[in-house]
């Protein structure tokens, strides 16, 4: 919603009808337009070089093989020079137990992100611990990692 509030045209891709209904209500409440696509990120036909910005926020429930498919699609959909933003949990999150996946292989590391997106320009990766309040299932000190980079 924040991106739409900044004036961007937003396409939200999610497989969950419940999540989309919640997002639709929030968009209506905030008076912003969002295009909602109900699809599985692992099989969606990502359009070629379509988006100026591609964002993945705490979508870490893909096993490693499916994550590769998802990231390949995100890369495909991003225009040359486009901005990629990824936000997720690190393995240290398992110690906090304040949300996110419980499987180590689904958590993101600096090495993983550098390996996958090292060919992007101005790659910035920040790891930090911060207090998050994202509902009852995601509350408290959290170990997060963020990536920003531009597609070459």
Average pLDDT of the residues in 119-130? 97
Q: How far, CA to CA in Å, does 2 sit from each of 38, 53, 119?
A: 20, 13, 28
pLDDT of amino acid 135:
74
Q: Let me know whether 28 and 58 are in one domain.
A: no
pLDDT at 40 over 80: yes
Q: Let me know whether 20 and 65 are in one domain.
A: no
Q: Let me know whether 35 and 53 are in one domain.
A: no
Complete DSSP assignment for 57-109: ES---S-HHHHHHHHHHHHHHEEEEEEEEEEEE-TTHHHH-SSS-S-GGGS--
pLDDT at 138 over 90: no
Q: Let me know whether 60 and 121 are in one domain.
A: yes
Enter the pTM of the model: 0.93
Average pLDDT of the residues in 15-44? 95
pLDDT digit string, tens, across residues 51-90: 999 999 988 889 999 999 999 999 999 999 999 999 999 9
Q: Let me know whether 21 and 67 are in one domain.
A: no
Q: How far, CA to CA in Å, does 66 sit from each of 42, 85, 106, 140?
A: 6, 19, 10, 29
Q: Let me know whether 75 and 130 are in one domain.
A: yes
Q: Let me know whether 35 and 52 are in one domain.
A: no
Q: Let me know whether 23 and 58 are in one domain.
A: no
Residue 47 near residue 19 (C-beta atoms within 8 A): no
Domain range holding 28? 1-39
Closest to 105 in 3D by CA, of 116, 90, 95: 90
Q: Let me know whether 68 and 131 are in one domain.
A: yes
Domain count, the chain: 2
Q: What is the CATH number of the domain that holds 97?
A: 3.40.50.150
Q: Let me know whether 106 and 52 are in one domain.
A: yes
Instruction: Classify 35 as helix, strand or coil.
Output: strand
pLDDT digit string, tens, across residues 92-122: 999 998 988 899 999 999 999 999 999 999 9
């Amino acid at each position: 919603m924040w991106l739409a509030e900044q004036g961007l045209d937003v396409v939200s891709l999610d497989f969950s009808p419940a999540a989309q209904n919640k997002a639709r209500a929030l968009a209506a409440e905030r008076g912003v337009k969002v295009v909602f696509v109900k699809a599985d990120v692992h099989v969606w036909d990502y359009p070629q070089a379509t988006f100026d910005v591609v964002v993945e926020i705490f979508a870490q429930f893909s096993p490693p093989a499916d994550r590769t498919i998802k990231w390949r699609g995100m890369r495909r959909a991003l225009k040359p020079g486009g901005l990629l933003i990824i936000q997720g949990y690190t393995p240290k999150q398992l110690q906090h137990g304040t949300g996110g996946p419980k499987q180590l292989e689904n958590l993101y590391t600096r090495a993983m992100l550098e390996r996958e997106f090292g060919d992007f320009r101005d790659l910035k990766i920040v790891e930090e611990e911060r207090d998050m309040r994202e509902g009852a299932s995601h509350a408290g000190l959290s170990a997060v990692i963020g990536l920003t980079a531009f597609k070459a």
